[in-house]
Structure 1
Amino acid sequence: MTTDSRTDTHTADLALMPRTGAPRQLLLLMHGVGANAANLLPLGRVLQAHFPEAAVISLQGYDPFDGMPHDGSARQWFSIRGDVEADRPARVAAVLPRFVADVRAHQQRLGIGEAATALVGFSQGAILALEAIAANDGLAGRVLAFSGRYASLPAQAPKLTTLHFFHGSADPVIPVRHAKDAMQHLAQLEGSDATIDIAEGIGHELHATLLDCALHRLTHHIPMRTWQAALGGVAAAASPNGGETLQ
């Protein structure tokens, strides 16, 4: 069971908290451009049904959407006006310090460490999550990037964060080639730990097929750093000099 913590959906983050006890995991959700925090609450409820001890917080885009006319509830993390392709890295970089500070503030307030935090972004929210980790490796233990992309491909792979890409093959907004290119690029970098799931015939949406893939990754994918730590422990235990054994 969960409790909802919310205020004005036009301006505030929305939280789903465990009914009893302190949360043990933190899932931060970032919506796409033109949406708002309330739009990802259904996703939040699905996630918390599988992780009942988690705090699930849907974050609100910092600025009103400056695109087509709307009722005032639409938000954005950065503007999509003008030459977005050329300016995207700078636009994301401008908002990253605030976003990273907010992530750390939620972690500190709830007493949850980086390894127990996941950033879950859709579209523009996924761009923000990927770029935040590219600039701050280990800010979260995992990123779930739905229908997203990098603003610019990273120079090095994160060592402390596992990346999961989820994309529809027929996405007309952010074509799936961006996710494929990211995976190919990461595979060439030392220490990369990333997965990709592509749903055939699916467009730019949080489709149930991709949600099922995400739940599977969260519950079955063991991060590479965990394997490496285990193998290191085995090697230390077998060493003549001794060392800690696996528990």
Structure 2
Amino acid sequence: MTTDLHTANIELLPAAGAPRQLMLLLHGVGANAANLLPLGRVLRAHFPQAAVISLQGYEPFDGMPHDGSARQWFSIRGDVEAQRPARVAAVLPRLVADIRAHQERLGVGEAATALVGFSQGTILSLEAVAARDGLAGRVLAFSGRYASLPAQAPKLTTLHFFHGGADPVIPVRHAKEAMQHLAQLEGSDATLDIAEGIGHELDAALLDCALHRLTHHIPMRTWQAALGGVAAAASPGGDDTLQ
């Protein structure tokens, strides 16, 4: 494990060899990179050749008194509902640049990158791929929501929503509304898992769902590429391999 002392990111790198996947973890408001380290260790146990990086929120938390370790991606003071989209838009360029810098440094492409967010970290993850389709191959969206529902579905990113049915902070209706909205958009590829009776937390049941989605869900774009290969093979002069 290595820690970037400048940003306080926490990195879990493969014991040997180059990373094959990149998983970037974004914590919730009032937390910090260390809070998602247990999740990172679970992911590394299942994907030993993955580089797992828990990112540190860019700003000190400006909420209730704390010991100084709490961070945030954007402020939740004032009229959050009205100001959330603008606050997210303000931080997105820095986040996108950091994601691309990690990809370039570690030699991992966008399709092999997953953004794993919790709460406010989920908001940033969803909005990042809404603004830059294909920035990551997957988003694991725990207990979060969109800042504003997208006009288009990402065609190069699979979205996996995980939510507690009794979440009092970000109610599960936001995840359901997102799924209903995405279902009406062309090219959407999204799943939703709900753990009934669970609140605003990274519950073990939801983590099991996430691991199942990562290992069993074949992205729609992969199916479409395969079907395209079949169509090409069936035509004169077509490629006889599946892409």
Tell me if 1:142 matches 2:145.
no
State the shift of 1:7 in Å. Answer: 4.8
1:16-66 deviation per Cα after TM superposition (whole angstroms, max 9, x unaligned): 001100111000000000000000000000000000000000000000000
1:36 alignment counterpart: 32
Q: 2:159 aligns with which of 159, 163, 166?
A: 163
Which structure 1 residue ranges, 5 or more long, are not aligned?
Answer: none
State the shift of 1:241 in Å. Answer: 3.0
1:190 alignment counterpart: 186
> Which residue identity does 1:159 align to in structure 2?
K
Tell me if 1:86 matches 2:76.
no
Partner Cα distance (2:172, 2:199) in 1: 9
1:146-190 deviation per Cα after TM superposition (whole angstroms, max 9, x unaligned): 000000000000000000000000000000000000000000000
2:148 alignment counterpart: 152
State the shift of 1:229 in Å. Answer: 0.1
* Moved beyond 3 Å, runs of 4+: none
- TM-score, structure 2 as length reference: 0.98
Partner Cα distance (1:55, 1:242) in 2: 38
Q: Within 5 Å, which residues of 2 pair with 1:92-241?
A: 92-241=88-237
State the shift of 1:246 in Å. Answer: 2.0
Whether the aligned pair in 1 keeps the contact of 2:225 and 2:242 (CA below 8 Å) is: no
Calculate the aligned-residue CA RMSD, in Å. 1.0
Partner Cα distance (1:223, 1:242) in 2: 24
Identity of aligned residues (%): 86
1:65 alignment counterpart: 61
State the shift of 1:11 in Å. Answer: 4.2
Which structure 2 residue ranges, 5 or more long, are not aligned?
Answer: none
Partner Cα distance (2:113, 2:242) in 1: 24
Q: Provide the secondary structure at the position in 2 that maps to 1:218.
A: helix
1:67-105 deviation per Cα after TM superposition (whole angstroms, max 9, x unaligned): 000000000000000000000000000000000000000
> Which residue identity does 2:153 align to in structure 1?
A
> Which residue identity does 1:169 align to in structure 2?
G
